[in-house]
């Protein structure tokens, strides 16, 4: 199902204000240095890819409204932007770096969806190339912070000015799927909202999926600052490559 948070231009306009892309952008920019080609799966509004200077840059996202923002960015003219689903994408090309950031991996809700996304990474990764993605650690239970009483904030919108925002969330413990709401109350009294679903996956399952895809992890990180992963690290961030033949 389409998620209005990414497909409705009125909601997409909040995306960059809510996602500043700090440490993850710096980490991936460092990985991209010296690479000829970069594939950004789930590129969103393109802030990361547009800021790189690699000779070949390809951004892929299923949401046209996100890509509209990406194409209008400074630096976007040197990149190729493709509307496609990361589960089925096959470009017939391979890249030195394949990245999937912004917790985009968590939108793949089923085992088959996760396998398909990882197969896409493997299909587009050049020998000697590297991949990286991120997923939140379910043990930290971050969704418990996404409640109306502790998530209220003010967000600057380019057309509506300062807007009150908040979230709600509920987790299905059996599946690890969290359904969360995002709400923006405008000055005229209207409320824009979206319901989204993401999956929290244990590291052991991620390890199994990665190996099934023909990929191997050279190092796991626990955050985008390069911290070690552990039972209570906020993130699972595998950095790896194709498995040896």
Q: Are residues 122 and 156 in the same domain?
A: no
Q: Are residues 62 and 116 in the same domain?
A: yes
CA 59 to mean position of chain CA atoms: 12
Q: Are residues 100 and 30 in the same domain?
A: yes
Q: Are residues 159 and 42 in the same domain?
A: no
Counting the structural domains of the chain, the total is 2
Instruction: Tell me the CATH number at 234.
Output: 3.40.50.150
CB atoms within 10 A of CB 212: 14
Q: Are residues 46 and 94 in the same domain?
A: yes
Of the candidates 60, 132, 118, the one whose C-alpha atom is nearest the C-alpha of residue 91 is 60
User: Please, which pLDDT band fits residue 40 given cuts at 50, 70 and 90?
Assistant: very high
The pLDDT value given to residue 21: 81
Q: Are residues 145 and 178 in the same domain?
A: yes
Average pLDDT over residues 20-38: 95
Q: Are residues 164 and 186 in the same domain?
A: yes
Task: Look up the domain containing 20 and give its range.
Answer: 4-138+201-242
Q: Are residues 106 and 13 in the same domain?
A: yes
Q: Are residues 84 and 153 in the same domain?
A: no
Q: Are residues 56 and 172 in the same domain?
A: no
How high does pLDDT run on average in the chain?
A: 96
Asked whether the predicted pLDDT for residue 1 surpasses 80, the reply is no
The pLDDT value given to residue 229: 93
What is the spatial distance between Cα 39 and Cα 61, in angstroms, rounded to a whole number?
11
As a 3-state breakdown, the chain gives helix, strand, coil percent values, each rounded to 5, of: 30, 35, 35
- Provide the Cα torsion 134, 139, 145, 146; round to 10°: 60
The pLDDT tens digits of the residues spanning 137-187 come to 999 999 999 999 999 999 988 888 899 999 999 999 999 999 999 999 999
Asked whether the beta carbons of 150 and 159 are under 8 A apart, the reply is no
The pLDDT tens digits of the residues spanning 82-133 come to 999 999 999 999 999 999 999 999 999 999 999 999 999 999 999 999 999 9
Asked whether the predicted pLDDT for residue 245 surpasses 80, the reply is no
User: What is the chain's Cα-based Rg?
Assistant: 18
Q: Are residues 112 and 47 in the same domain?
A: yes
Q: Are residues 172 and 131 in the same domain?
A: no
């Amino acid at each position: 199902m389409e998620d209005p948070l990414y497909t409705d231009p009125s909601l997409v306009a909040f995306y960059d204000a809510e996602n500043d892309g700090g440490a993850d952008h710096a980490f991936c920019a460092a990985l991209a240095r010296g690479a000829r080609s970069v594939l950004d799966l789930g590129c969103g509004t393109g802030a990361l890819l547009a800021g790189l200077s690699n000779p070949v840059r390809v951004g892929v996202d299923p949401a046209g409204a996100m890509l509209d923002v990406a194409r209008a960015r400074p630096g976007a003219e040197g990149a190729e932007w493709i509307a496609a689903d990361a589960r089925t994408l096959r470009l017939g090309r391979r890249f030195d770096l394949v990245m999937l950031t912004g917790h985009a991996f968590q939108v793949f809700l089923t085992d088959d969806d996760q396998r398909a996304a990882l197969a896409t990474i493997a299909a587009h990764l050049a020998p000697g190339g590297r991949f990286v993605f991120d997923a939140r650690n379910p043990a930290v239970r971050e969704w418990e912070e996404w409640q109306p009483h502790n998530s209220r904030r003010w967000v600057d919108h380019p057309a509506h000015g300062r807007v009150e925002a908040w979230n709600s969330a509920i987790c299905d413990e059996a599946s690890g799927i969290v359904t969360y709401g995002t709400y923006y109350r405008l000055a005229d009294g209207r409320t824009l909202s979206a319901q989204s679903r993401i999956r929290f996956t244990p590291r052991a399952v991620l390890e199994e999926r990665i190996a099934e895809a023909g990929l191997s992890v050279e190092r796991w990180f626990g955050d985008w600052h390069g911290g070690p992963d552990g039972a209570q690290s906020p993130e699972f961030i595998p950095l790896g490559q194709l498995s040896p033949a």
